Amino acid sequence: MTEPRGPKGAEPRPDGGFDRELDVRSVGLFGLGLALVMIVVLAALWILLVHWKARQTAGDPRPSPLAEANAPRLPPEPRLQAAPVKDMDELRARETSTLTSYGWVDRQAGVARIPIDRAIALLLASGLPAPRPEPTPAPQPERTRRAPGAS
């Protein structure tokens, strides 16, 4: 019933048993045609949506002037932080810079700062000064307690 296609008088090839009726050119043209139809449909849909959006916004009423008058205004000073995470990062960067660098605290008085790691090393090398002995407090005279109701 089914006869292999091919030129007249040609014998079927023994190694071409799988999908010999499949026409690769027809499948490729069908895929290309399907892609072109999809592009045309999507372009038409996009044009329709743009047109419908313009038509809808043209029919919208104008905004009320009261809405502009009641627009939110900035609160009076002082305001809350707009970006607290960024502010905290900047603060930590400044503190780290202060703790890890040399600089003047008061140049007129001759007071300078040194990096904290260097200060710890110097303190460990020289040791802490001994604390001053605290004077012992004078003993307080004991008060005699009276019984309630006694005069």
Phi, psi (rounded to 5 degrees) for 82: -80, -35
* Per-residue pLDDT tens over the stretch 55-104: 998 888 887 788 778 888 888 888 888 889 999 999 999 999 999 999 99
E strand or H helix at 105: strand 103-106
pTM of the model: 0.35
Compute the mean pLDDT over every residue in the chain, rounded to the nearest whole number.
Answer: 84
Contact 133, 125 (CB under 8 A): no
Lowest-confidence pick of 44-53, 68-77, 122-131 = 68-77
